[in-house]
Amino acid sequence: MNSNSTERYAKVIEVSKRVRWEIDRDIIRGRGFDYGRHFLPDGLSLADELPFLSREEHRLLSQLQGRTYANMFALVERFITAKVLELGRAQALGDQVAMEALVRMSDEELKHQKLFRRLESMMEQDMPPGYVMSADPDAIAQEVLGSGNWAVLALTLYIELFSQAHYRASIASDEHICPLWKDVFLYHWREESQHAILDEMEFLKENARLDAAGRDVAVGELIALVGAVDGTVQVQAAADAGYFCAITGLSGHAVRAAAIHTLVLKAYRWQYIVSGLLEPRFNKVLFSCLDAAQATRIRNATAPLGYAMPRQPGVAEAMAA
């Protein structure tokens, strides 16, 4: 481990200590959710693209999508924590500064999972019954962790960078969303900013271990993982759209119900896939590691999802800034 890498790990530790937060002391603070306000902004939920929704239905759709948004982060942080613990163990008899940074990251990811479970228990009490989170976090983690380190670390970097882009470009600037909801993702963003530095360092270390043939295999694994993400969001979008139509009475309106199903799937593909593909830092890191043929494979594989972009002017550009 060179001294420059050790210094970067040490800097992450320093910032991690400075921004450290606790769930009840800093975020919940005895508060509940304000259901008179939106959770996800239109730039993420795309709820403004359904003009037939009433104001109350528009707000409810943002809250439902926000509920799934929190649960999706709880889900992905299950496999991220497992991978980071594995990386930390590999440093146990090596660079102790690197090990400390990775152990701190795993501790923070466990805290994030606890936070999102807490939010789900609050929303379960407050929102109409019938909501289902379709994916099992442990099953998803086992599937993801069956891939090689390169693909898993690329996916992890991608997720943690798009979560930051969502906060900076959409959540932070919206004055109308629930204050507790906004605080959740403010504090989440503060720690994820450090995690992304570690993700990038670990990904580039893994990339340096691969030859061209190994990287070809890894690119195929990453494409398969993005496909698995899409499969997960398709199932969840169908469940959420069905739940929304049931609790609003729109199930009997076939045309509107179909439009809701289409919109929710588009929104989820935007949130969990396409917005990440636009993230400049992820693109710079990933494509710097690929040859032209490998880059083309990834672009061709993800091209069918490119339709999932907001109609609202400037949203995609802000996300990619």
pLDDT tens by residue, 82-136: 999 999 888 888 889 999 999 999 999 999 999 999 999 999 999 999 999 999 9
Contacts of 3 (CB under 8 A, 6+ apart): none
The per-residue pLDDT for 198 is 95
Beta bridge mates, 267: none
Where do we find the tokens 């935007």? Answer: 270
Question: What number of residues does the chain have?
Answer: 321
Give SS3 for 38: strand
> Residue 197 corresponds to which tokens in the numbers above?
């530095």
Distances (CA, A) of 306 to 100, 263, 310: 39, 14, 11
Are residues 54 and 193 in contact, defined by beta-carbon separation less than 8 angstroms? no
Q: Which amino acid is at 270?
A: W
Residue 80 neighbours by CB distance under 10 Å:
26
CA nearest neighbour of 147 among 224, 244, 232: 224
What pLDDT, on the 0 to 100 scale, is given for residue 3?
Answer: 61
Predicted confidence at residue 2, as pLDDT, reads 60
pLDDT recorded at residue 99 = 92
265, two tokens: 């799937």
Per-residue model confidence (pLDDT) at position 92: 83
Rounded CA separation 63/288 (Å):
38
Q: pTM, whole model, 2 decimals?
A: 0.95
Token pair, residue 315, equals 């949203």
The Cα 267–Cα 236 span in angstroms is 11
* Model pLDDT, residue 313: 78
User: How crowded is residue 225: how many other Cβ atoms within 10 Å of its Cβ?
Assistant: 19
- Give pLDDT, residue 91: 84
Collect the ranges in the chain with pLDDT lower than 70. 1-3
For residue 260, what is the DSSP state?
Answer: H
